[in-house]
Amino acid sequence: MNQTDDPVLIVAFGEEENLGVGYLISVLKEAGIEASMIDFRQNDEDILTAIRRRNPFVVGFSLIFEVYIGEFARLITFLRKNGISCHFTAGGYYSSLHPDEILSLMPGLDSIVRFEGEYTFRELAGCICKNEDWRSVRNLSFRENGRIMSTPLRDPEKDIDIFPFPSRGRPEEYAMGRTYTAIIAARGCSYDCSFCNTREFYRKARGPLRRIRKPESVAGEMKKLFTETGCTVFLFQDDDFPVRAYDGAWINTFCSEIENTGLAGRIAWKINCRPDEIDRDTFLMMKKHGLYLVFTGLEDGTDEGLRRLNKRTTAEKGLEGVGILRELDIGFDFGFMLFQPETSFGSLRENLSYLERVCRDGYTPVSFLRLLPYFDTQVEKDLREQGRIRGAPGSLDYNFRTGSLDACWSAVGDCFAEWLWGRKGFVNLARWVRNYLAVGDFFNGQHSVHSGYRQRYLDTVTLGNLWLSENLKDLFSYYESGDYLNDGGTQKEQIRIYAESMNRQLSKSLRKMLKKLEAP
């Protein structure tokens, strides 16, 4: 093969830090194979130009989000039609669990790297760069004589601290002039929620469901990034941060290491965890060592709903958890699926009442999503058995039990999509004001020059939460009563127009706060 300075190029989703790709690149570079990443969100022509310019031996496609399967398939076809002939491979959850399907949907692929990719991708790239046969590399799927072949699986690496720290770009600004990066303390999850396929991925890979890094290694990585890049905000991407690992010994050691490395008071960090893992003493200790924000999966406000989701907790535990965070003045976001396959108008009202309790004082904005039937989850299997699943791979969907609920969900999107999920919407802007205040409080103290904005933020979010809740109730009653069938959608249209107006008004207020908080 012709010599190239960049033998491996990975096309991947570039939002924040893509740690999966970062680990792949660092392992490749450790083996003497140069690699780089291009953001999948760039237009096709730019990606084509980048591949032509770098002339790689291998292009890898990181299919970490199933909703982009169709777009990746289109991109691969486009690249092949425009003369890119090097080896194409793909990886990710869907590719690992359904290689036959991905190879069928994407005929331009030459192979699939299944499950954990560090060693497999390194070996595959090495073989191709040396023009050696790659078909005996473990954890691969590929076509051979019209059949799909899969090589034997290798055992996943038990000690993930063996991997070099992931390759990262230059840290970008987060808030208040502070830069951030993503980091992990563990891989996998030991729980089996019905809407998540993480457990299935690690089970099929024949490895431990969860592998936890040494707390000394995690703190050491943070120290290295702090010293070499000046990074001071760390966003942990673990599905479930090891708060309770080894009966709490892990988090105690981690906080001690932050102290020992001289990072205490100089860095701030955010985690994801379950609400029933939150206890006052542990989280007070964590806050003293930099914890400023928690994302927690509440998901449902009823015990019945939580049982369906296999969450193995109670609604009251969720309230207790966020109550502790509020008491300790630790910011929090939460996951909540207001609309689910078994949703009724009664459950909508009950869950909305729960959200009102969670967000009662403007500490965080009311937000929610619709449960989607991700592949190989228990939810997807149940809906398939019921004959309710529809759509193609990457865009599976379902109908609710009644047409009025289908219409109601559609109306929620029409009326509140920008408010709830838009980048310039109320919820996103409120979270960023909260982030700025939290980072400012941590590094500058609550009596800093910006402290006066805290009450303004609380008042604005309280007003927005109250307004959203009241209008959702009106919308629920409108569709449950069947009035929507008789008035030509007049009431829904009134709510939509009102929502646009309120979103503009409150978002403008939040943007003004952000502008003031961004000022030096």
What pLDDT digit, counting tens, does each position of 332-389 carry? 999 999 999 999 999 999 999 999 999 989 999 999 999 999 999 999 999 999 999 9
Give the total number of structural domains in the chain.
2
- CA-wise closest residue to 267 among 223, 217, 332: 223
Residue ranges with strand state E in 318-461: 331-339, 369-370, 389-390, 397-398
User: How much of the chain exceeds pLDDT 70, in percent?
Assistant: 98
Contact status, residue 423 vs residue 434, Cβ threshold 8 Å: no
Contact status, residue 335 vs residue 295, Cβ threshold 8 Å: yes
28-33 long-range CB contacts below 8 Å, 24 or more apart?
Answer: 28/121, 28/122, 28/125, 29/164, 29/167, 30/164, 31/122, 31/126, 33/7, 33/8, 33/122, 33/125, 33/126, 33/129
* Confidence (pLDDT) at 226: 97
Task: Examine the fold and report which residue of 145, 163, 179 is the final residue of a domain before the chain moves on.
Answer: 145
* Confidence (pLDDT) at 1: 43
Task: Examine the fold and report which residue of 145, 179, 204 is the final residue of a domain before the chain moves on.
Answer: 145
- What's the rounded Cα separation, in Å, for the pair 63 and 375? 13
Q: Is the pLDDT of residue 178 over 80?
A: yes
* Confidence (pLDDT) at 395: 84
Please write the tens of the pLDDT for every residue from 129-170: 999 999 999 999 999 988 999 999 999 999 999 999 999 988
**Does residue 352 form part of some domain?**
no
Q: Is the pLDDT of residue 406 over 70?
A: yes
Please write the tens of the pLDDT for every residue from 425-464: 999 999 999 999 999 889 887 655 566 789 999 999 999 9
Please write the tens of the pLDDT for every residue from 187-203: 999 999 999 999 999 98
Tell me, what amino acid is at 213?
Answer: R
Provide the domain limits for residue 484. 402-520
**Does residue 370 form part of some domain?**
no
Mean pLDDT of 26-53: 94
**Does residue 133 form part of some domain?**
yes
Q: Is the pLDDT of residue 237 over 60?
A: yes
Contact status, residue 217 vs residue 161, Cβ threshold 8 Å: yes
**Does residue 475 form part of some domain?**
yes
- What's the rounded Cα separation, in Å, for the pair 500 and 507? 10
Please write the tens of the pLDDT for every residue from 312-327: 999 999 999 999 999 9
**Does residue 374 form part of some domain?**
no
Mean pLDDT of 5-24: 87
**Does residue 303 form part of some domain?**
no
CATH of the domain at 126: 3.40.50.280
* Confidence (pLDDT) at 294: 97
Task: Examine the fold and report which residue of 145, 169, 204 is the final residue of a domain before the chain moves on.
Answer: 145
Tell me, what amino acid is at 341?
Answer: P
* Confidence (pLDDT) at 304: 97
Sign of the torsion angle spanned by Cα atoms 158, 38, 395, 148: negative
Of 1 and 132, the structure prediction assigns the larger pLDDT to: 132
* Confidence (pLDDT) at 135: 96
**Does residue 211 form part of some domain?**
no
Q: Is the pLDDT of residue 15 over 80?
A: no
* Confidence (pLDDT) at 519: 74
* Confidence (pLDDT) at 33: 95
- Which helix or strand (DSSP H or E) is residue 135 part of? none
At residue 232 the predicted structure's pLDDT band, cuts being 50, 70 and 90, is very high
User: How much of the chain exceeds pLDDT 90, in percent?
Assistant: 88
- What's the rounded Cα separation, in Å, for the pair 111 and 481? 54
| pTM of the predicted structure, to 2 decimals | 0.94
Mean pLDDT of 409-433: 97
DSSP 79: H
**Does residue 238 form part of some domain?**
no
* Confidence (pLDDT) at 4: 56
- CA-wise closest residue to 37 among 158, 205, 133, 168: 168
Through-space distance between the first and last CA atoms of the chain, rounded to whole angstroms: 54
Please write the tens of the pLDDT for every residue from 58-117: 999 998 878 889 999 999 999 999 999 999 999 999 999 999 999 999 999 999 999 999
